[in-house]
Amino acid sequence: MPGPIAGSFFYLYLILDIFSRKIVGWEVHEAERAELAADVLQRAVWAEACIARPKVLHADNGAPMKGATMKATLERLGIIASYSRPRVSNDNPFSEALFRTCKYRPAWPRLGFADKAQAQAWVKAFVNWYNAEHLHSALRFVTPNSRHAGEERQTLEKRADLYAKACASIPQRWSGKARNWQPIGPVWLNPERDTSAAEIRDAA
């Protein structure tokens, strides 16, 4: 995240649940260090109460994600580490799409953040919007919070019923099949086929 002067930055540590697209942990710091990343991870696991559940953390190959403190935290929490493959630019499309969405929000300060406090406040507002209000195109236009809480099926069933009634009442308005409102099901980090540019955009 750009700082107040050219060449200065703040660093956003962020954890995304790729099944629901919910941001489950984040923090802004003034440095990149493994212990800072480990702290964000620890707090996310506590907040989600998923200590005893199998977990995989996929990350890039940056030093903070491969540092000794981070590796020790992963082992202690029973989390399997997964890293992007070398020279594979679209190996983590969910994060790429999320950061694109973040940077293209209208409120993104083009001239940089004045200080860490401003950067933190901006990210907090973004996370609240993204999790609770953003109707995610890859989730059939439900919010990440809704899918994370297991509420998407009820929402989509109501939407499908509404569309079916609209089709029945005024069929001439519909040239083809109504939109698919079935839940999207499982999500794969690295499907067997290559991820297209369109899929990377839709991941956000």
- pLDDT 10s digits, 95-146: 889 999 999 998 999 899 999 999 999 999 999 999 999 999 999 999 999 9
Higher local confidence (pLDDT), 90 or 135: 135
Q: Is the pLDDT of residue 11 over 80?
A: yes
Contacts of 68 (CB under 8 A, 6+ apart): 34
**So what's the pLDDT on residue 189?**
78
Q: Is the pLDDT of residue 155 over 70?
A: yes
Tokens representing residue 76 in the block: 């202690």
Least confident range from 76-85, 112-121, 175-184: namely 175-184
Name the 3-class secondary structure at 25: strand
**So what's the pLDDT on residue 29?**
97
Highest-confidence range of 6-15, 91-100, 192-201, by mean pLDDT?
6-15
Rounded to whole angstroms, the Cα distance separating 1 from 13 reads 11
What single-letter amino acid sits at 19? Answer: F
Rounded to whole angstroms, the Cα distance separating 79 from 56 reads 5
Dihedral angle, C-alpha 64, 122, 98, 60, nearest 10 °? -10
**So what's the pLDDT on residue 105?**
92
Q: Which domains does the chain have, with CATH numbers?
A: 11-136 (3.30.420.10), 150-188 (no CATH)
Half-sphere exposure of 90 (CA within 13 A, CB side): 14
Going by pLDDT thresholds of 50, 70 and 90, the confidence category of residue 191 is low
Strands (DSSP E) found in the chain? 11-17, 22-29, 55-59, 79-83
**So what's the pLDDT on residue 179?**
83
What single-letter amino acid sits at 53? Answer: R
Q: What is the mean pLDDT of residues 168-174?
A: 83
What single-letter amino acid sits at 33? Answer: R
Going by pLDDT thresholds of 50, 70 and 90, the confidence category of residue 204 is low
Higher local confidence (pLDDT), 53 or 156: 156
**So what's the pLDDT on residue 195?**
47
Q: Check residue 136 and report its DSSP letter.
A: B
Q: What is the pLDDT of residues 28-80, one digit of tens each?
A: 999 999 999 999 999 999 999 988 787 899 998 888 888 999 999 999 999 99
As beta bridge partners, residue 17 has 22
